[in-house]
Amino acid sequence: MANLRETADKALKMLRTLPRVQIGNLRPNPNSKQNDKRGRAQHGGDKHGAGNKGSGQRQNFMRLGYETGNTPFYMRFPYEPYYKGHHLRRQYPPISLLQLQVMIDTNRIDVSQPIDLSTLCNTGLVSIDPAAKEFGFQLTDEGADKYKAKISIEVQHAKESVIAAIERNGGVIRTAYYDPRSLHALKNPKKWFEKGVPIPKRMLPPQDAMSYYISAENRGYLADPEEISKHRLVLAQKYGYDLPKIEDDPQYEMLTAAKDPRQLFYGLEPGWVVNLKDQCIIKPKYETSTV
């Protein structure tokens, strides 16, 4: 009897402290209710993500930019002449002189050999995408005060201050154009050689870029060498440094090595086939014109 009385007292004590049983504090047993629908937005998954009626429900995949009858975004604003042909403009990813100096200091670039676009891509630190209208690299003057290397480099675009920084240290810089097909070969020469196709011939610059690459001030690869020598002296006088004499340099041959306007690789002519498996070069029987 004592045990029953203690149990009853505990039960009464719990009833006094617990809240009264109401609809608000009732809940079903666990896993007793099953939801037939998946919680997918407004329709609960019945429409399978296709919405309700209309072309969007009928797998009518609309073209890019179509806004189901509304005025498209690209037609909603007035025409700006600045953006005319912006999708066709050539892009030149930047490489600073500081980055170039770091590549040289970490032995990613051999300064005893001429440096071109292929050399820069083979470092594994920079790359280009011809499909994104990238036509090579432009050299920027960031870190010009820390740049100390003597090199022979070929880039696609460079400012006057960059040219002065290269030539102050006894180096040589050229700006050269490459067409998209040539860029694919230069970007990854090993992949191109494994195809077993001849080395392509470099195309000349388009009309809007011709003036840049025939200018001696820009060190264009189509410029007159005598004019380049004059502008080297003018630039040295402008920036106030003594121009080193390349003729007396022991690396004269390396510094003056230049490609033919139709050539892609140093020492390899257009039309040659490089066989990596047999480690040989297959040359055509008849000489091909480089014009």
pLDDT tens per residue across all 291 residues of the chain: 678 888 888 888 888 888 877 888 888 888 888 776 666 667 777 777 777 777 777 777 788 888 888 899 888 887 788 878 888 899 999 999 999 999 999 999 999 999 999 999 999 999 999 999 999 999 999 999 999 999 999 999 999 999 999 999 999 999 999 999 999 999 999 999 999 999 999 999 999 999 999 999 999 999 999 999 999 999 999 999 999 988 888 999 999 999 999 999 999 999 999 999 889 999 988 766 555
Residue 36 dihedral angles phi and psi, to the nearest 5°: -75, -20
Got the DSSP string for 134-197?
Answer: B---EEE-TTGGG-----EEEESEE-HHHHHHHHHTT-EEEE----HHHHHHHH-HHHHHHTT-
Q: How far is CA 282 from CA 79, 83, 193, 288, in A?
A: 54, 47, 11, 14
What pairs with residue 175 in β-bridges? 155, 220
Q: What is the pLDDT of residue 58?
A: 76
Which SS3 state, helix, strand or coil, does residue 288 take?
coil
Q: What is the DSSP letter of 261?
A: T
Q: Residue 116: which region, alpha, beta or left (left: phi > 0; alpha: psi -120 to 50)? A: beta
Range of the domain at 147: 87-282
Show the tokens assigned to 285: 């029987």
121 in a structural domain:
yes
25 in a structural domain:
no
CB 270 within 8 A of CB 288: yes
Q: What is the pLDDT of residue 78?
A: 78
Residue 254 dihedral angles phi and psi, to the nearest 5°: -70, -40
36 in a structural domain:
no
What distance in Å separates the CA atoms of residue 73 and residue 67, rounded to the nearest whole number? 8
Across the chain, which distance is largest between two alpha carbons, in Å?
A: 123
Domain count across the chain:
1
51 in a structural domain:
no
190 in a structural domain:
yes
Does this model's pTM top 0.75? My answer is: no
Contacts 24+ apart (CB under 8 A), 205-211: 205/177, 209/90, 209/177
What distance in Å separates the CA atoms of residue 119 and residue 134, rounded to the nearest whole number? 17
124 in a structural domain:
yes
What distance in Å separates the CA atoms of residue 216 and residue 118, rounded to the nearest whole number? 24
23 in a structural domain:
no
41 in a structural domain:
no
